[in-house]
Amino acid sequence: MNAGATIWLTGLPSSGKSTLALELARRLRDRGERTEILDGDEVRARLGFEGKFSRADRDVHVRRVGWLALLLARNGVKALVPVIAPYADIRAEVRAEHLAEGVTYLEVHVATALDECVRRDVKGLYARQRAGLISGLTGVDDPYEAPVDPDLRLPTEGRPVAGCVDDLVDLLVKQGLL
């Protein structure tokens, strides 16, 4: 078993974060690695998150998930985090916390263009926003600060999931994590 790490998958809603985390986790388990997925909705539900989607609420959420991931990662787990994390400064904060403990943090930008995310609209969020039923949707009427210098920028449009997961595995190999 290799070292733990946090692999953060940031991207717009429906960009493919959860799908890629699930497939990567499967691959990692097949290779005998310990891995866990900290998916945003699940963490919010499980930890009884009282906040919603304001800037302040999102910051609290991302810091919490970042801390959970750090606890796992420093104990030999590959913590996969498919969480939007729209703000660059909070992502940087989580990275710094990891570095301070000598724990690897990798930022992956799941770089699916907004129009493709709108076409996919897995949870119907874009449609609900357009219908005026919700507001504050990341990438539409709420900010998304795309990573400027991610460890990996991963386009997904027109690509099979398996090929994208190959890229993620390559990244981990390059980092000496596999």
**CB under 5 to 8 A by kind: which of Mg ion, ligand ADP, none does 47 bind?**
none
CA 2/CA 176 separation, integer angstroms: 8
Does residue 65 touch ligand ADP according to CB under 6 A? no
Positions in 150-169 near ligand ADP (CB under 6 A): 156, 159-161, 164
Beta bridge partners of 82: 9
Does residue 37 touch ligand ADP according to CB under 6 A? no
According to CB under 6 A, which one of 4, 6, 10, 20 is a site residue for ligand ADP?
A: 20
Which H or E run includes 166? helix 161-174
Does residue 129 touch ligand ADP according to CB under 6 A? no
Sheet of 104-110: strands edge to edge? 35-37, 78-82, 5-10, 104-110, 152-154
In angstroms, give the least distance from the CB of 78 to ligand ADP: 18
Beta bridge partners of 35: 78
Positions in 71-100 near ligand ADP (CB under 6 A): 82
Count of residues near Mg ion by CB under 5 A: 2
Does residue 120 touch ligand ADP according to CB under 6 A? yes
Cβ neighbour number for residue 118 with a 10 Å cutoff = 18
Cβ neighbour number for residue 45 with a 10 Å cutoff = 10
**CB under 5 to 8 A by kind: which of Mg ion, ligand ADP, none does 13 bind?**
ligand ADP
Does residue 134 touch ligand ADP according to CB under 6 A? no
Within the chain, strands assigned E span 5-10, 35-37, 78-82, 104-110, 152-154
Does residue 122 touch ligand ADP according to CB under 6 A? yes
CA atoms within 13 A on the CB side of 73: 27
In angstroms, give the least distance from the CB of 149 to ligand ADP: 21
Residues that bind Mg ion in the complex, under the rule CB under 5 A: 17-18
Residues that bind ligand ADP in the complex, under the rule CB under 6 A: 11, 13-20, 82, 120, 122, 156, 159-161, 164
